[in-house]
Every structure is written in C-alpha cells, then in structure tokens.
Structure 1
C-alpha cells in the first residue's frame, strides 16, 4: 500500500532536503546491518538461495528501511531521500563503473605470461602505479583478467587476488583525485589536484612497498611448493595488447571525470532534484563510451578475455540496496554532535578543541571499510572544518589522515570500495575460489591492520 504512495509523492518530495540526521536514531541502521550480514553469511549458510535471489533479498532490506521511514516521517520525505540517492549518487556511480568495466574487459593482454612471483609482483606493482592515473576501478578491470590467466595453472593463488584488491583496487588510487572517489570529492570541494600527490606520497610508498614485499615472500613460499606444475617452456610468445581502442575509451572516461570537476555550468531540475548539468553529461558520456566499446570490440576478443556481465549485474543490484540502506547512517554522521553518533564524533577533537589526526585516520578508515568511502570522506572533511584552504595548509596533517583513512581502509572489506567486489565477482566467474566476506576481513586484519598501525605511529 505504501509503495504507490511513495511513487506518487516523488515530484513533490524531490524538492525536500535530504534527511538531516539529527532526528534519526541508530535504529535506522538495522537494515544496513542486515544487508551487510546477508552479504557475509548467506553465501555460506544458504548459498543456493543467495545466488538465485540476492537481488530480491537486497531489495527487501531496502524496502524494510524505506517503508517504515515513510510511515514515521511521511512519504514525501522518504521519496525525496530515495530519489536523491538514485539520481544524485547511484546512477552516476553505476554509469561510471559500467563504462570502466566494459572498456577494461575489452583490452586483452596476449603472450607468454606465467604467474611466477616476479611476474605477479610486476603486475601488482603496475596496477598500483596506474590506479592513480585511470582510477582503482579502471586499473582493476584492466589487469584482473591478465592476472587470472597468468595464474590459471596454480593451485595456491588466493593470496594473489587478495593482495590485488589491497594494492590495485585501493592503495594505488591515493595519489590523484582520479585515483579514488573520496579524493575526487575533495577535488570538487577545492583541494588542489596535486595536493594529494605531494602529501600522500610517502604514506602511499610505505604501504605499497611493504605490501609488495610481503606478497613476494608469500608467493615465493607458495611457488616453491608448486613450481614443478608450471607449464613446460615452449616457444615464447611476445606480450601484446589487443582491443587498444578501449584504452582510448578509458582515456575518454578519465577526461570526462576531470571535466566534471573543472566545468560546472549550472543545475537542471529533474524529478524535483537539482542536478549539476555536468553530472547528467557525465552519465550520457559514460553510457556512450560503453556502447562504443561494445560495438568496436570484436566478440571473440571479449570471449578470449573471459568477459561476462554477471559481475557488473551483481554489483549494480547489491550496491543499489547498499546506497539506500546506508543513507541514514551517513545522515547520522553528518549531524555531528547533534546526531546519535555524537560520542563517536567527539573523539575527533582533544580537550582544546583541536583535531586529532590519528583519530580521523582510524574513524574515517574503519567507517570507510563498510560504508561507501566517498561520502564517509566528505563527512570527516566537513567535521574537520570543511575549508579546503585551511585543510591544505594548517590542517594538512588532518586532511592527509582523512584521505589516507578513506582510501587505504576501503580495502578492509569487499564493500569498502566498489572494485573490491567486482574483482571478487570476476574471479569467481572464472572459477576461482575467493574468501568469504569474513574470510576476506580476516586477511585484512592479518595484513592491513598491522600495516595501518605502523602508518599511525610513523605518520600520524
């Protein structure tokens, strides 16, 4: 009965402001917690049900939030919030992801590529470097399939895909606003383009070198137990790229992302929501690039690359529900000392009212592990004052801590950053066994949390 009312309320509700969060209790976080637990537990406890019905289950959790919200606060406010999420956040997010997924899946690296420790380290290092140029999603989509093919013959390889997520899908994107969505939001808020390059470089280098070193040791141990099963040496085929038109299309995606930050001609009204014209243009360009990639890439090349639509469909369905159910949690955080998370927010400053960088690092990081790291970054950016000029100068250590927390700790769970889940889905599509949700978190606790403690002691 309530759903038609919500839809009917949409035009009027769209003009409503997004929920402030000051009047929300932590009770409204229950659907988000349920969504997380479903992702974590159902593949283990009811794998068949989850595999066939994860979209319906995700929609159920979203409805469990929206319908009671409409009863308590009115259908206009509920509809306004949902349309804000869909139009302002979800559609631009999934359009960008789709463009990078399709273009990245149209580039085929051919040649003799055997997953030895040195080869794997080289691939992970390359992905870590280019992630700041073409984004963590673009770098992940470009390189995950070559890594899968290079290691297809190996039995001990789970660690390779886990460290790929650590490095290529997260930490590698910390040097420019193109690298990861949180830094792009900072750029839109006035943080200089190369500020992150200069202020996060040492933290990036420390984490990347240490993780690559640890990975090399782990992979060398695994390789020693199975190198006898490596393919017999034969005629060595030189490495070459096919589908290079998609590299130009990826460049088009990157250029459009930059244009959205530099060119903001004004807003248009759509379903009552005021949306920047550049965002609508971005969605149109990303969809056009997706279409161009499909038309220009031979189907045989995609087939040879192991390309399939399942991974992006799974991400689209799950993240639609995640975006909706996490909205009250972010609204509560945005309310600061006026919201239900006030005790948590109070930890970010000392008795003198000065920001505590290491607390910003851990709070922005741990919340980014399970919430979308882009809006989480924005919450703490605003908690730190929200003035980009001050934060780039006197508050540089605080902004560095927020940036590192949001980007680095997005690696702590599969849902901390969208490429994490996409890499997992693509690996599973190719028949690889990936850790469960909690299993992956255990890898993060074992390798990332000690690393982040060292980052805290050395830098913050």
Structure 2
C-alpha cells in the first residue's frame, strides 16, 4: 500500500467521522433548555481524572516507556472513562451526553482537524541544502519561526520548520536544547501578534477584540522575551558547539552538498495560505445559520472551515510526491499521539473549566478572587500569573476566556482603558503555554517528531526544569516591566 493510499484512507476516515457526528439523525428533539453543568456543585475530587491524565503523560514515558508507546491511547481512554462513568451515574446521562458532545463538536474536532491539516500540509514541504546546525543558522531558524508563528499559527510554523532544523542538527552531539528553545519560541511566544497565532487570541477576536490589537499591545513584551531567549540560546549553543568540535558529516549533507537551498513540495506553501484563509473566514463570515446536535449549536461557518481544512489536507496528500514525504521523515505517529492524548485531556478538563467558570463560588474561587482587590480593581500581575499558570496545564483557550469574562467588562473597555489587564491575560495565556508539554498542542507534536527523529527529549518534569530555569525568570522580569 502506497503512502498516498494510506493518507487517502486516513482522510476518508476523518471526513466520515465528522459527517457522522453532524448527521441530523443524531439530533434529539427534546423540550426545555440544554442541560447545564454548574461548577458550584463540583468539588476538587472531579479534577482527579485530569490530574491522573497529566501524571500519566509525565511518569509513564519515563518509567514504562515501551508500555506507554504501545498503550497511551488506552491510558487516555481509561482516564476519560474515570471521569465520564461516575459523572453519568451522579448527574445523569443527558448532562454527560451534552458535555461530551459539546466539548467534542465545538472544541476537540475543530482543534484536531486544524492540527491535522497543518501537520499534513507543512509535512509536505521539504527544505534541502547545505544546512549545518551551527549556532548562527540555528538561531536564524528560530528567529524565522518566531516571526512566522503569528501569521501562520504556532502549529503551522512549528510543523514547517522542525524537520529542517532537526536535519540541520544531524551532525551535532547536543541537540535537545535547540528543540526546547524551538518549543519556547516558535510553538508559543511567536504566536503573540495576531489572532492567527494562538487559539486564545483567536477567541478574543471572536469576542470583538480588534484583529491588530495584539499586534500593537503584545509587540513589545513579545520582542523583549524573544530577544532575551534568542541571545541566551545563541550563547548556550555556541558554548556547546565549541565543546563538541567539528561537525560530523552525515548522509544528508553528502546528498545535498551541491544545493545551497531548495524547497520540495512548494505547492504546500499555497495550501498553508488556504488554511490561514479558512480560519480567518470562520471568524469574519457570520451567516447566522447553525445546526443543533442535542442542544449543541454548530455554526455553518465553522462547518465550512473544517470542511475546507480537510479538503486542503487531502489536496496536500494528492499533490505532494510520496518520496518527498518519506525523505522528509514524515509519519503519522505525532498527530495520532496528539489526537489520542488530547481527547482524554479535553474530556477530563470539563469539570476543571466548569469550576473556574463558577468564579468565586467554585472550589477554585481563591484563584478568581486573587485577580482583584477588595474594591474590585484588577490586579494585572495576578491576571498574568493566574492565567499563565493555569494555561500551563489546562487548555489555554478556555482559560483565557474564563479570565476575560472574570473582568466583568465590555470588550470596548478591555481594549481601551483596561488594555493593560487584557494584555496581562493575553500574555499569560500565550507565553506560559510554553511551561509544559501540554500547555499548547504544538509542544507535544514537536517533542514527538524530535523523539521519532532520534533527538533525546526531556521527560514531562525534565522539560519543566528547563522552562522553570529559563522562562520563569523571564516572566518575572516581564511582570516588573509591564504589569506592576
């Protein structure tokens, strides 16, 4: 079976799943309003499955790597069931069905379809040439990726550049630090300047925040953070490069010695523009048409967007030479791993988000109370750290939305006289997604691609040591410069 045939079958499977889920036959006509999950009624015990999911991601690859590699999907399913079964028993089938469909149809499937299309399209672009992983070239790749991330998304930029970077590092002994900084900059911080860059900013755009508001307000914090990290990376990589000695010659450099720079699969660059256009369309076009699947309203523009993304992925499969993908080291494992793990994360995160939405009346009310003074004035540095810390472990998009709504202000006020508060929320959600592997989806995908390519990556907690030592001091500095 050829690679194209395999890709076509995977595309057909994804499309069939979407069509089944939106089929009118699934819609239930029932009286009354939609079931409602009140976070005030949930204790912290309901967060245990989500904590178990995170601990499994952290511990199993380190302690039982072979077992994890073969069974991570089953482990994800176990924790999802550990939440859904008791939840259904205590709160009823209707509420459990509604919450499952709500998170699946409105969050998980759009999320995974976007990742799938970006992964497929960017994986079809192969950079060839005399790429030697010297400190200067590596820093330039990180800089380019950071700049691109705001305009093609952190996922798009990461998937476009991670393989060329890894190929450039083939002759290097020390590689891990480069991929870690790539996650910091390209997969997170670079997506700060437009709603296309990172999901939290796109949610803000849908709530009425001007498209270029992040460009003007996030620019300076993003530049300060990026310059510090790029300089720090260059110094660290230069030290390790000199410690290694001359670069080892690899088969890749031998094959490409006669080519300074070349791109295979250039059609995918046009398809990437199509992905960007589809995402923008769903935020701008408002036909006012929606479909209901058991109280869950699915808007037409979002269905059209997801359909376009799947068609673009299919076109990439058909138009990209199979051999080019093979030589690019492309495989489906990273997107399969993200898909299986994040369905467990999206389901088990339901009670945590509900508790946060309950505000001061929820079990996490102390967090919500900490972002305002006794007379209701916002404490911007607390908004920055509360949004950031929760975004490091929860989905940063709904976390952004929770604190956006916590301000209790109209969007015109937030983008005007309270712009410093919205800046704190935005920066916390985007920047601190880099603190853990689960803080932002591209983090996990980059890690998976790197490990598959033979680059040793730190464990879940090992990565947090990197982010704690490098990023947290930077965030403290940003706090004093921008939020106090």
**Same fold by TM-score greater than 0.5:** yes
**Residue 262 (structure 2) pairs with residue 244 (structure 1):** no
Query: Residue 327 of structure 1 aligns with which residue?
Result: 350
**Residue 371 (structure 2) pairs with residue 348 (structure 1):** yes
**Residue 144 (structure 2) pairs with residue 126 (structure 1):** yes
CA distance in 2, matches of 1:403, 1:105: 29
**Residue 50 (structure 2) pairs with residue 32 (structure 1):** yes
Q: Write the mapping of 1:22-171 to structure 2, written as runs, cut at 5 A.
A: 22-171=40-189
Query: Residue 185 of structure 1 aligns with which residue?
Result: 203
Q: CA deviation at 1:351?
A: 2.0
SS at match of 1:76: helix
**Residues 414 and 421, structure 2, Cα contact 8 Å, conserved in 1:** yes
CA distance in 2, matches of 1:387, 1:425: 41
CA distance in 1, matches of 2:173, 2:29: 57
Deviation per residue, 1:342-390 (Å, 9 max, x gap): 1111001012210100000000000000011111100010001252101
CA distance in 1, matches of 2:74, 2:34: 28
- Structure 2 portions without partners, runs of 5+: 1-24
Q: CA deviation at 1:168?
A: 0.1
**Residues 413 and 441, structure 1, Cα contact 8 Å, conserved in 2:** yes
TM-score, normalising length: structure 1? 0.96
After superposition, the Cα gap between the structure-2 partners of 1:78 and 1:10, relative to the gap in structure 1 and judged at 3 Å, is farther
CA distance in 1, matches of 2:260, 2:30: 59
After superposition, the Cα gap between the structure-2 partners of 1:13 and 1:62, relative to the gap in structure 1 and judged at 3 Å, is farther
CA distance in 2, matches of 1:93, 1:182: 12
CA distance in 2, matches of 1:280, 1:200: 31
- Structure 1 portions without partners, runs of 5+: 1-7
CA distance in 2, matches of 1:229, 1:389: 55
Query: Residue 388 of structure 1 aligns with which residue?
Result: 411
CA distance in 2, matches of 1:455, 1:229: 37
Deviation per residue, 1:264-323 (Å, 9 max, x gap): 212211344211111111111111111110000010000111100000000000000000
**Residue 469 (structure 2) pairs with residue 451 (structure 1):** no
SS at match of 1:369: helix
Q: CA deviation at 1:10?
A: 8.2
**Residues 399 and 429, structure 2, Cα contact 8 Å, conserved in 1:** yes
Q: CA deviation at 1:229?
A: 3.3
The number of equivalent residue pairs is: 453
- In the alignment, which of 412, 421, 426 is matched to residue 444 of structure 2? 421
Q: CA deviation at 1:20?
A: 2.8
